[in-house]
Amino acid sequence: MSTLQSFNARTGEAHGAALAPSTEQDIDRAATDAHAAFGDWARSSGEQRAALLRALADGLEAEREQLVACADLETALGPVRLNGELDRTTFQLRRFADIAQRGVPFESLDDPAVAGGPPAGHPAMVRQRMPLGPVAMFAASNFPFAFSVLGGDTASALAAGCPVVVKAHPGHPVLSQQVFAIIQGVLKAQGLPAGLIGLVQGAGVEVGVGLIRHPLIAAGAFTGSTRGGAALQAEANARPRPIPFYGELGSINPLIALPAALAAKGAELATTLAGSITLGCGQFCTNPGLLVLVDGPETEAFIPQLVEALARQQPHPMLTAGMRKAFDAGIKGFMDAGARSLLQGQGVAPAPGPQLLQVSAQRFIERHELREEVFGPSSLIVRCASLAEVNAVLAAVGGSLTVTVWGADEDTADNRAIVRSATQIAGRVLFAGVPTGVAVTAAQQHGGPWPSSTAPMTTSVGDAALERFLRPVCLQDAPAWLLARGGVPC
């Protein structure tokens, strides 16, 4: 197996000794222990689940200083961003604690018997939900707290009554081990089995593939590249007993700036957009990687404003050397496919400079390479000759986590057509602001049609993330003792 090594993200130097990757035996032990913990945890009360999630949040906060310092060394995301992300992570844990305590995982639908024959008559039925079982959770690189070991997938799965086996991301292995140590301490203090939350790690594909193939794993949750997610989804589907795989994948997040918005406040929007493109060195799944503009005087004035605003940005180093290499290759791929560079920012090594490119709508539609996600501080302008071409560009995108539409404030046929096109391809459509930043709320939808996710009916952020790990079951003419359990599995 590949060696697992922690690196200083700012210097590229190795940090500490090489770490031992998980073996087949380690993976089997983690999955087996999670399966052993499943029965009791599936039967646990909302109060017990809430107590665990709140204690995990407390544990992170108690070790904040050490965790943030380690995360900053391994990711170069900076203490301000990382402290904010840790706050979001503890918020998620406590929010799902509240959801569990309110009894949401145990909610049921009572359909009383109706006398007479079918089709109107029917037996008494109750529709409730059952936890799926152990979940393989694949941590993301770009959010070392919020989408990692104790991120939203772990929190929502635990609240649903499912154990979790985390596949740690090799971009922050030491941080992952520190968080896992906190988990182990909390589980021990609450008298819960250590296998309720397991951890495996490795730099190569072997560990992740071995985990998703394990027969005791009941579902997979993934945040990462389209290529990696597609490979794991194929493994999940190829099992003798296929399992659900919830992948949040790559997305280019089109942002449409209509002439009305640019005429009203083009310079302000340029500054806002430049900050969004370079936020976190562009390493956000909701980074606005595609800017759709309509030819005209407003666009001609806006593009120089955006170039100027972007040129002032100074991104920090990327998460890993591999990501920087992929970013450079992606920019080259755009140019090879016919895109013209408008800005080639010169970053301070090893950080990249911001990049802005431009292409015609016709070229964008013709060349699939221009629709690939380039993970980093860049965006591609697509110039449209008409509003009809805007809709054609969105149709070519196919699927995205977000679409942002600036300037559709009036109820017109053209605006309706653009909104219709946007809602057909995205899980979240914004009409103000920028897509970077995903609120953890009841109405959030973080997932869209392929290639942005593998299951566009579900979300990986927000309260509804819980639904991914619960399977509906209909109880027909159930005995009174079973109904008295109020949806709690027996």
Q: Which amino acid is at 45?
A: S
Do 109 and 126 contact (CB within 8 A), yes or no? Answer: yes
Which tens digit of pLDDT belongs to each residue from 210-239?
999 999 999 999 999 999 999 999 999 999
Label residue 356 by pLDDT band (50, 70, 90): very high
**Backbone φ, ψ for residue 124 (5° rounding):** -70, 130
Do 199 and 149 contact (CB within 8 A), yes or no? Answer: yes
Which tens digit of pLDDT belongs to each residue from 280-299?
999 999 999 999 999 999 99
What does the pLDDT read at residue 186?
98
Tell me the C-alpha distance between 338 and 320, whole Å: 28
CA-based torsion, 168, 62, 54, 26: positive or negative: positive
Cβ-count burial 196-206 (b if 16+ within 10 Å, e if not) = bbbbbbbbeeb
pLDDT at 264 over 80: yes
Taking the alpha carbons at both ends of the chain, their separation in whole angstroms is 41
84 vs 350: which has the higher pLDDT: 84
Q: Which amino acid is at 383?
A: R
Tell me the C-alpha distance between 83 and 33, whole Å: 33
Going across the sheet that includes 125-131, the strands are: 109-111, 125-131, 470-476
Pick the catalytic residue from 235, 248, 298, 372: 248
Tell me the C-alpha distance between 425 and 284, whole Å: 19
Tell me the C-alpha distance between 285 and 222, whole Å: 13
What does the pLDDT read at residue 3?
81
pLDDT at 1 over 80: no
What does the pLDDT read at residue 347?
86
Say what angle helices 152-160 and 79-101 make with each other, to 10 degrees. 10
Domain 254-430 in this protein, CATH class: alpha beta
pLDDT at 273 over 90: yes
Residue 285 annotated among the catalytic residues of the structure? yes
Which tens digit of pLDDT belongs to each residue from 446-476?
999 999 999 999 999 999 999 999 999 999 9
Q: How far is CA 304 from the centre of its chain?
A: 33
pLDDT at 355 over 80: yes
Query: If you average pLDDT over residues 124-153, what whole number do you get?
Result: 98
Tell me the C-alpha distance between 454 and 452, whole Å: 7
| 291 bridge partner residues | 255, 381
**Joined tokens for residue 132:** 């799926």
CA angle 323, 325, 326 (to 5 degrees): 65
pLDDT at 25 over 90: yes
What does the pLDDT read at residue 348?
84
pLDDT at 434 over 80: yes
Residue 272 DSSP label: H
Percent of the chain clearing pLDDT 70 (strictly above)? 100
Percent of the chain clearing pLDDT 90 (strictly above)? 98
Pick the catalytic residue from 285, 298, 372, 373: 285
Kindly report the number of other CB atoms within 10 A of residue 281's CB atom. 28
Domain boundaries, the chain: 4-249+453-483, 254-430
Query: If you average pLDDT over residues 428-454, what whole number do you get?
Result: 97
Kindly report the number of other CB atoms within 10 A of residue 456's CB atom. 17
CATH for the 4-249+453-483 domain, from 3.40.605.10, 1.10.1740.10, 3.20.20.80, 2.40.160.40: 3.40.605.10
CA-based torsion, 84, 86, 89, 93: positive or negative: negative
Query: If you average pLDDT over residues 161-179, what whole number do you get?
Result: 98
Q: For residue 438, what are the CA distances in angstroms to 86, 147, 314, 406, 462?
A: 15, 12, 23, 18, 9
pLDDT at 8 over 70: yes
Q: What mean pLDDT, rounded, does the chain reach?
A: 97
Which tens digit of pLDDT belongs to each residue from 365-423?
999 999 999 999 999 999 999 999 999 999 999 999 999 999 999 999 999 999 999 99
Strand 197-200 versus strand 164-167 pairing type: parallel
